[in-house]
Amino acid sequence: MQIEKYKIEEHNQGLLKEHRRRYDFAAAGLADAEGLLGKLVEFQVAIPSWALGTGGTRFGRFSGGGEPRSLEEKIGDVGLLHALNGSSGAISLHIPWDIPKQASSIRALAAQYGLKFDAMNSNTFQDQPGQKLSYKFGSLQHVRKEVRKQAIDHNIEVIRYGEELGSKSLTVWLSDGSCFPGQLNFRQAFQNTLEGLKEIYAALPADWKMFVEYKAFEPNFYSTTVGDWGQSLLYASKLGPKAYTLVDLGHHLPNANIEQIVALLLMEGKLGGFHFNDSKYGDDDLTVGSIKPYQLFLIFNELVDGMDARAMNHATDLGWMIDASHNVKDPLEDLLQSVEAIMLTYAQALLVDRKRLVAAQQGNDVVAAQELLQGAFRTDVRALVAEARLRAGGALDPLGLYRAGKVREHLIKERGAGTVATGL
């Protein structure tokens, strides 16, 4: 299904008066409202193809119905999101969950919705039907060369699919590691993995990036072969200039200072991309900003500061992706909430008075520094983000329109109540 332009306009008309009142108030306090709006309009967050269906845990999965049955329908879903919020202009695919059988028509379909293909993701954490060798004991780290080769070949195949679609990056997340002490020779596992990554790196087109994603635990619970940002950075540094670290917010040990990690990776020019989600305990994959919004703000504060220090383009120089799973919500509603949370937080980070922050830091004025950050965090920027959405052709209240337009009901009618999307 599609949401027609006139429906969005009608919806906006009804809300416009109140919106203007709020926007004028919010913009009056800003030195450069237009500059801020321009940045917000440009900023796009990629939607993961694997998060368009209902997620689950190892205990169960409760589908909400109307899930996309094909890559075409997944693209349709992201198209809906983008029509509503104007900030979801890309999709990140996972192979083999989303093999594009006819790349040219998939590309054309995405273009119709104004979507680009963000990072391609490989999968050597599951065995696939018909696959010769098993990844039970890892993929690139594996003690057997044939298994490593199979994993390398798969990643190269993913690059080829991505090239056909116009993607420009490959995200490698490995579940490799060990569950028990003694199971693995750490150095050997690292070396094997590095060798494999080198072969994949060699197959990257000139204008591509490779993102090495780390994760502290799960599914392996004693060691992970790309377990933290240090290890990821080590691989990325040894690989070369096209390799970067990817930060997934849910992949750290509890209480890790993610904003500091981000700051240092940016300083080194080695931060490549981001997987947004939120968590209370581990890789919970909850809605962005739902549990620790201040932490998200502190991370965005470092992102803006670090990117500006290197004169980077906020919108295009890093890969911005959501990586979440929705067990009890409608996935599309959850994704609308996540994108909104990202936009709000980005806007707040743009509001930080950096000159005054530097002065506070130089003067060891701890109180003033805290006031500055919390002042930005406590600013209500909802009307600013709504204005950016309006200018991008989106809806003033995406979630409201999604519900009023009975989008899920339509999708269930179209696709059926029992459909199950490929993915998590």
- What does the per-residue mask of binding to ligand RM4 show for 117-146, with x meaning CB under 6 A? ----x-------------------------
Among 275, 314, 326, 389, binds Mn ion (CB under 5 A): 275
- In the bound complex, what is the minimum distance in angstroms from residue 250's beta carbon to Mn ion? 5
Cis peptide bond N-terminal to 219, omega within 30: yes
**Phi, psi of 332, rounded to the nearest 5 degrees:** -70, -35
Asked if 230 and 239 count as a contact pair (C-beta separation under 8 A), the reply is no
**Phi, psi of 39, rounded to the nearest 5 degrees:** -65, -40
Q: What is the 3-state secondary structure (H, E, C) of 273-288?
A: EEEECECCCCCCCECC
In the complex with ligand RM4, which residue's Cβ is closer, 95 or 344?
A: 95
Does 214 bind ligand RM4 (CB under 6 A)? Our answer is no
Task: Tell how strand 177-178 and strand 223-224 pair up.
Answer: antiparallel
Torsion of CA 401, 405, 411, 412, to 10 degrees: 120
Interacting residues with ligand RM4 between 281 and 320 (CB under 6 A): 283
- In the bound complex, what is the minimum distance in angstroms from residue 215's beta carbon to Mn ion? 6
The position carrying tokens 């670290």 is 245
Among 323, 334, 340, 397, binds Mn ion (CB under 5 A): 323
Does 278 bind Mn ion (CB under 5 A)? Our answer is no
Helix, strand, coil percentages, rounded to 5, for the chain: 50, 10, 40
Number of residues located near ligand RM4, criterion CB under 6 A: 11
The residue sitting closest to ligand RM4, measured at its beta carbon, is: 173
387 binds, among Mn ion, ligand RM4, none (CB under 5 to 8 A by kind): none
228 binds, among Mn ion, ligand RM4, none (CB under 5 to 8 A by kind): none
Those residues whose C-beta lies under 8 Å from the C-beta of residue 153, and which sit 6 or more positions away, are none
Does 173 bind ligand RM4 (CB under 6 A)? Our answer is yes
Does 248 bind Mn ion (CB under 5 A)? Our answer is yes
The position carrying tokens 């500006």 is 308
Does 148 bind ligand RM4 (CB under 6 A)? Our answer is no
Kindly state the tokens that stand for 102. Answer: 């006819």
Among 259, 278, 283, 397, binds Mn ion (CB under 5 A): 283
- In the bound complex, what is the minimum distance in angstroms from residue 58's beta carbon to ligand RM4? 13
- In the bound complex, what is the minimum distance in angstroms from residue 94's beta carbon to ligand RM4? 6
Q: Closest by alpha carbon to 43, among 76, 88, 81, 83? A: 88
In the complex with Mn ion, which residue's Cβ is closer, 47 or 411?
A: 47
- In the bound complex, what is the minimum distance in angstroms from residue 64's beta carbon to ligand RM4? 19
Does 169 bind ligand RM4 (CB under 6 A)? Our answer is no
- In the bound complex, what is the minimum distance in angstroms from residue 74's beta carbon to ligand RM4? 14
- Dihedral sign of CA atoms 365, 366, 371, 374 in order: positive
Does 213 bind ligand RM4 (CB under 6 A)? Our answer is yes
Does 284 bind Mn ion (CB under 5 A)? Our answer is no
- In the bound complex, what is the minimum distance in angstroms from residue 325's beta carbon to ligand RM4? 8
The position carrying tokens 């993701």 is 121
- In the bound complex, what is the minimum distance in angstroms from residue 144's beta carbon to ligand RM4? 24
Give CA–CA dist 283/252, Å, rounded: 8
- In the bound complex, what is the minimum distance in angstroms from residue 149's beta carbon to ligand RM4? 22
Does 323 bind ligand RM4 (CB under 6 A)? Our answer is yes
- In the bound complex, what is the minimum distance in angstroms from residue 283's beta carbon to Mn ion? 4
Interacting residues with ligand RM4 between 371 and 410 (CB under 6 A): none
Give CA–CA dist 328/36, Å, rounded: 35
Amino acid identity, position 341: A
Residue 112 Ramachandran class (φ > 0 left, ψ -120 to 50 alpha, else beta): alpha
Asked if 399 and 338 count as a contact pair (C-beta separation under 8 A), the reply is no
- Dihedral sign of CA atoms 224, 230, 236, 239 in order: negative
Give CA–CA dist 192/198, Å, rounded: 10
Among 23, 43, 50, 117, binds ligand RM4 (CB under 6 A): 50
- Give the binding site for Mn ion (CB under 5 A): 248, 275, 283, 323
- Give the binding site for ligand RM4 (CB under 6 A): 50, 94, 121, 173, 213, 215, 248, 275, 283, 323, 424
